[in-house]
Amino acid sequence: MKNKPQLLHSLGKASVPAVNQYLQLAKAQGINLDQILKTVELSETDLADNDAMISGLQFQQLIAQLVKYSKDPLFGLHTAQFVQPGSYNVLGYICMNCTTLGEALTKIQPFEKLVGDMGTTSIEPASLMNEKNAQIAESDNENAILKINWNCIFTDPLVRRHMIDNCLASWVTFARYLVGKNYDPIQVSLTRAKPDSKKESLEYQQLFNCPVFYSQPNNSIFFYQSMLELPLNKGNKQILSTLESLAEQQIKTRFQHQTIVDQVTQLIQKNLPTGRINQVYIANLMGMSAKTLQRKLKNESTNFQQLLDNTRREMAIYLLTNTPYIMTEISELLGFSEPRSFHRWFLKVIGETPGNYRKSSFVE
């Protein structure tokens, strides 16, 4: 048996307030946290500083332990009841002081790193689905439909599901808080399979108060574009400006020591499942031209393609040897259009097929 390969790519970081949302539910359920925190090498001191962050790997391990001891099949969904502005660090207070819901949504991508970088958010035009999962309504100018997607980079399938539930359910709960009234999406799509229990399906329905579709390609909340105009009842432009300056400074302080190679590698990792992994797109995310990025990487004796290949290789090895994902799922997580492309690429890079590599390397 081959030695277990090390997970060289990062699972990002998570802010302490984001972590505490999970711990609040655990405490409410009567779970003894002492041994769990010890297992994942965290202490009460680590979780007392709301400006601190923990590693994504620790967060993934923590959620896995909480779910295990909770025995709550919808643990992630149930954490939404504890969401509050502080759960999103300074981003939560920035959203509170926006004028409209649409303005609040524009603040997510620039500042979501302050909550954590365990996933990426995108907003795009959308069309609805019927009960057979077919598109039935194209967006129109009068009542256009948008969807907000969240792609989780965590590798543990069970943890991913609970974190996705937490993210989407918390967004909807927080949006209702911001607008001061009932805010219901048009529909919600989840990559998870439909729950076997009717009771669990009903809980999703009750929380989102809209149709929920399962086994979908993305985790998304659908809403009418007109909802972007909903006014927020706590907005203060002067406070907003101050908070944005604070957030920009925090981002600069926290991430200024990252090398250009680290930044590109993390962005590649996050965007692999979306397929948006070309040099132009990554450069735009970093606020520079593709030529500038190319020059900076050359100064570090590397290039974009090398970083893409290395990141994809390490992720492939980890997913094959440490997770039960099937080849189709691994192919999607690595940004391949179909499993055959992943098979050919892996054979070329590693020298054996993904299936054979998994048989000889899988870690129980």
Per-residue pLDDT reduced to its tens digit, 228-244: 999 987 777 888 999 99
What pLDDT score was predicted for residue 134? 45
Coil/strand/helix, residue 300 = coil
CB 12 within 8 A of CB 116: yes
What pLDDT score was predicted for residue 166? 97
CB 231 within 8 A of CB 152: no
Q: How far is CA 80 from CA 23, 50, 97, 275, in A?
A: 12, 19, 21, 29
What pLDDT score was predicted for residue 147? 94
In a domain, 193, yes or no: yes
In a domain, 51, yes or no: no
- Same domain? For 211 and 292 the reply is no
Under-70 pLDDT residues of the chain: 1-10, 129-142, 255-257, 362-364
What pLDDT score was predicted for residue 67? 96
Domain boundary (183, 214, 229) is at: 229
Q: Provide Rg for the chain, Cα atoms.
A: 21
**Structure token digits, residue 268:** 């590649």
What pLDDT score was predicted for residue 139? 42
- Same domain? For 177 and 304 the reply is no
- Same domain? For 123 and 210 the reply is yes
- The range of the structural domain enclosing residue 317 comes to 258-361
Helix axes 16-28, 157-179, angle to 10 degrees: 100
What pLDDT score was predicted for residue 213? 96
* CATH number for the domain that contains residue 324: 1.10.10.60
In a domain, 266, yes or no: yes
How many angstroms separate the CA atoms of 287 and 278, rounded?
Answer: 15
Whole-model pTM?
A: 0.76
DSSP conformational letter for 53:
E
What pLDDT score was predicted for residue 181? 74
In a domain, 180, yes or no: yes
In a domain, 270, yes or no: yes
**How many domains are contained in the chain?**
2
- Same domain? For 204 and 124 the reply is yes
Domain boundary (229, 250, 268) is at: 229
In a domain, 81, yes or no: yes
How many angstroms separate the CA atoms of 116 and 11, rounded?
Answer: 10
